[in-house]
Amino acid sequence: MMVSQSVIVWSFKMQQQVRRFLLFLLIVVVYPTEQSVAQIADSAILRLADPAIIFGQQQYHLYGTVEGKTGEGFVSYHSNDLEYWTKDTGMALKKGEAFGTANFWAPQVFKLNQQFYMAYVANEQIAIATSTSPSGPFKQEKLLSLEAPVKQIDPFVFIDEDGKKYLYHVRLTKGNKIFVAELKSDLSAIKPGTLQECITATQPWENTANSNWPVTEGPSIIKHKKYYYLFYTANDFRNPDYAVGYAVSKSPLGPWQKFAGNPIISKQHIGVNGPGHGDFFRDKNNQLKYVLHTHQSDSTVGPRRTALVDVRFVPGQPTDIDKVGIVPGSFHFLRATRK
């Protein structure tokens, strides 16, 4: 049987096309490109803004603002190793079961008298709900917020060694300003006459955009030795210069002295835009850690990514006020559980 020259050429070309296709599959499937590996890795990063972590019932529990779904409430995650996180079933706090109809932001969870409490923002007011479990559901018998004459956000409840309870929070009055007030023992309201202003943006690093509405927000408190350390984030959250600093006082009500070396966490420290608005906790080994959010990328703010960094106290010189800094190389993003 005679085979024409054209058939031979066609067969050769088909073999070449098949080889090219197989080579393409080998490269894409077996040896993915650096870009595809990066995309896969990035997709696993958790995206919760204004995050908080608590250790309870032998696990770590994570909460935060769910961007794009802030009208629904809050979700929670749990982890055994702080690296990989599994989303809990259901909502940690669901709209309709506690105060608020929109803008559920910045949850903080703490334990008191064998019960778990969530202080949170909704409708630009602060409310507190309770649960028997760190994963919720957090609810209120009466759907109420803490009374205030202005909008208030970013709650942080601090319980001192003497049992007194304090609410650090942000009031929206000619800027985002941090205040503190002592709470009633049942956490139902602040005690009259105890409200004090703590922090407002007065330094260049705190308002790099020279905004007419300066921002200090996301307060959290640590008591170390005999001093109170108030950590906060400055600049608008959309600003790449969003960064964390702290101030020190001998009293939970102030006055506060800002650290001269602020900020201690910024894009210059970790190489990522917009780090801040987090919460402190200690791991199983008593290592102090700070969970925070960052921008999505160099060009995009959200949905913001959730990260963790180790923090340490350094002996102060020449005073007895220890300094605070991050542990080099400890910054990393939190990821969803591996399938």
Q: 189: closest CA among 115, 128, 102?
A: 128
Residue appearing with tokens 């602020």: 262
Residue 27, pLDDT score: 35
| 338 pLDDT tier (thresholds 50, 70, 90) | low
Written as one string, the DSSP assignment of 61-92 is EEEEE-TT-TTTEE-EEEESSSSEEEEPSS-S
Going from N- to C-terminal start, the domains of the chain cover 48-336
**Pairwise CA distance, residues 246 & 62, whole Å:** 23
Residue 33, pLDDT score: 40
12 has pLDDT over 60: no
305 has pLDDT over 60: yes
Of residues 233 and 319, the one with the higher pLDDT is: 233
233 has pLDDT over 70: yes
Answer for the pair 91, 72: CB distance below 8 angstroms, yes or no: yes
Please state the rounded mean pLDDT for residues 149-157. Answer: 98
Q: Class for domain 48-336, per CATH?
A: mainly beta
| 157 pLDDT tier (thresholds 50, 70, 90) | very high
Per residue in 112-123, pLDDT (tens digit) is 999 999 999 999
**Pairwise CA distance, residues 236 & 240, whole Å:** 9
183-192, 206-215, 267-276, 313-322: range with lowest mean pLDDT:
313-322
| 42 pLDDT tier (thresholds 50, 70, 90) | confident
Query: pTM for this one?
Result: 0.88
Residue 14, pLDDT score: 56
Determine the distance from the C-alpha atom of residue 100 to the mean position of all C-alpha atoms in its chain, rounded to a whole number.
21
Long-range contacts of residues 88-96, Cβ cutoff 8 Å, at least 24 apart: 88/135, 88/136, 90/136, 90/137, 91/136, 91/137, 92/63, 92/118, 92/131, 92/135, 92/136, 92/137, 92/138, 93/118, 93/120, 93/129, 93/136, 93/137, 93/138, 93/139, 94/137, 95/71
**Pairwise CA distance, residues 279 & 285, whole Å:** 18
Q: What percentage of residues in the chain have a pLDDT greater than 70? A: 87
Answer for the pair 237, 277: CB distance below 8 angstroms, yes or no: yes
